[in-house]
Amino acid sequence: MSPSAPSPLSTSSPTWNARLWGILLTVSIVGFLDALDVNMVGVALPSIQADLGLSTSALQWIVSGYVLGYGGFLLLGGRAADILGRRRVFLTAVAVFALTSLVGGLVDDGNLLIVARLLKGVSAAFTLPAALSIITTTFAEGPTRNKAIGIYTLMGASGFSSGLVLSGALTELGWRWTFLLPVPVALIALAAAIRVLPKDGPRTVGSYDLPGALTLVGGMLLLVYVVVEAPQKGWTTASTLVQFGLAAALLAAFVVIELRGAQPLIRLGILRSSSLVRANVGLSVFFGAYVGFQFVATLYFQQVLQWSALQTAFGFLPAAAIVTLAGPRIPHLIARFGTARSIIAGVSTHVAAYALFLAIARDHPYAVGVLPSMLLISIGMTLAFAPFQIEGTSGIPDHEQGLAGGLLNTSMQIGGAIGLAIVTAVLTAGNEGKSGPDALLAGFTPAMITVTVLAAVGLLAALSGTLGRRRATAQTDTSTAQLELDEVPEITR
């Protein structure tokens, strides 16, 4: 496959003209929408549950459906951007995103709502790698690209954080508005993209590996379903074991397809990049822990503390505010301390935040029981998110930037779905015979311990990367010293 033509606007100059800013802001707004929609229904979940009569296990699919559609097709979206052209894929996917947003706001059945969320996630799966590859081929690698990615990820992190706040405010009007709000914003971004994005070159020759995409999505959907349902059915029942086996078979088929395919979704050689692998593993666990925390916290606030949707939104507001305000400083911090240290600091802060939230009680005031965790979570998200993106795309050739971006965000979204499934399974495991707040309280502490453990695993992954770098540096220094010694004449030794 021949690579897509680089953008004619590609530049390493620190001075950006209006056209460059237009490109960056347009794709960043769409990135904001993609991230916003992960959280946009967050605070609305209890209202959706009451209105449509969903169980807690079914309710998590409102979130999981989106992130699995998002994560499961990101690799295909990255491939499509590389083959068909970044602009073509971006425009088409944004249009579909707007349409599925509208449909999601109009349906009355819980199953149809889940399907709409899944399809909406699929459309987002094509916008994100196209957007990221537009940025990485428009701005040269180094400080210029880091600045552009920093702005893009800041918009995404702001959308992710503010989604809960907007969800609470809109839920007071009716939960359907959480689905309808993105429609006009997506249409405005679509109009701007048509105007500012550079034209694509000719389509390149290549295949899409649809069997690989379908086996990956099918395997992940079934795996999440089994993990969520197993506490009720039993982990060792015949149906659970058979479903686990089918999920494993689908995922194994995905690996075989990738190994044997002439043009697989994942070129295995790209995994030789240690920074890409570390970023994928770390981001998946980091995001999985956060999505699990958000689900538990939202239900706890509204079902146990009896907060309204608007109160819940304000409970998350400090986190959104800090991400928005502190985000512009992240490129400077990365330049000074490096991506590895920033990631370790961010993940460590999340571990501390979840551990603090474990101690929350029904009679704790907000400033003591909730606010410290929210502040730490926002700081951690701000510190870690952009460095993960930079780690995952550094050193990758332009023609595989779509693949790298798709792989990185696939890991994040699938990690979110699996993390949420695990936390939901723990949350519902001990609530037999209970309902309402009592059912939630029965699983609250085990669920939050699970979230904290997941975050700790992410910290270990980040630390292993730093230790690996130190060993590599030490080996390089030793080899250099030995080489210099070998070059010294024997008589001088």
pLDDT digits (tens, 9 = 90+) for 39-56: 788 788 888 888 888 877
Q: What is the pLDDT of residue 256?
A: 87
Q: What is the pLDDT of residue 439?
A: 64
pLDDT band at 484 (very low <50, low <70, confident <90, very high): very low
pTM above 0.95, yes or no: no
Q: What is the pLDDT of residue 311?
A: 86
Question: Is residue 112 scored above 70 in pLDDT?
Answer: yes
Q: What is the pLDDT of residue 348?
A: 92
Q: What is the pLDDT of residue 5?
A: 46
Portion of the chain with pLDDT greater than 70, in percent: 84
Higher pLDDT, 331 or 163: 163
Question: Is residue 349 scored above 50 in pLDDT?
Answer: yes
- In the beta sheet, which residues pair with residue 139? 11
Q: Within its chain, how far is the Cα of 194 from the centroid?
A: 26
Question: Is residue 267 scored above 60 in pLDDT?
Answer: yes
Q: Which long-range contacts (CB under 8 A, 24 or more apart) does 253-256 make?
A: 253/215, 253/219, 254/212, 254/215, 254/216, 254/219
Question: Is residue 492 scored above 50 in pLDDT?
Answer: no
What is the C-alpha to C-alpha distance for residues 205 and 196, in angstroms, rounded to an integer?
A: 26
Closest of 199, 176, 183, 22 to residue 94, by C-alpha: 183
What is the C-alpha to C-alpha distance for residues 207 and 84, in angstroms, rounded to an integer?
A: 10
pLDDT band at 438 (very low <50, low <70, confident <90, very high): low
Residues 24 and 149: beta-carbon distance below 8 Å: no
Question: Is residue 468 scored above 80 in pLDDT?
Answer: no
Residue 189, classified by CB atoms within 10 Å of its CB into exposed (0-12), middle (13-18) or buried (19+), is buried
Higher pLDDT, 347 or 7: 347
Question: Is residue 476 scored above 80 in pLDDT?
Answer: no
Q: How many CB atoms lie within 10 A of CB 329?
A: 12
Portion of the chain with pLDDT greater than 90, in percent: 11
Highest mean pLDDT of the ranges 67-71, 97-101, 321-325, 400-404: 97-101
Higher pLDDT, 203 or 127: 127
Residues 154 and 330: beta-carbon distance below 8 Å: yes
pLDDT tens-digit map of 150-206: 788 778 777 777 777 788 888 888 889 988 988 999 999 999 999 888 887 666 656
Question: Is residue 481 scored above 70 in pLDDT?
Answer: no
What is the C-alpha to C-alpha distance for residues 390 and 399, in angstroms, rounded to an integer?
A: 17
pLDDT band at 262 (very low <50, low <70, confident <90, very high): confident
- The C-alpha R_g of the chain, in whole angstroms, comes to 23
Q: What is the average pLDDT score of the chain? A: 79
pLDDT band at 433 (very low <50, low <70, confident <90, very high): low
Q: How many CB atoms lie within 10 A of CB 304?
A: 16
What is the C-alpha to C-alpha distance for residues 456 and 285, in angstroms, rounded to an integer?
A: 9
Closest of 164, 225, 214, 156 to residue 420, by C-alpha: 225
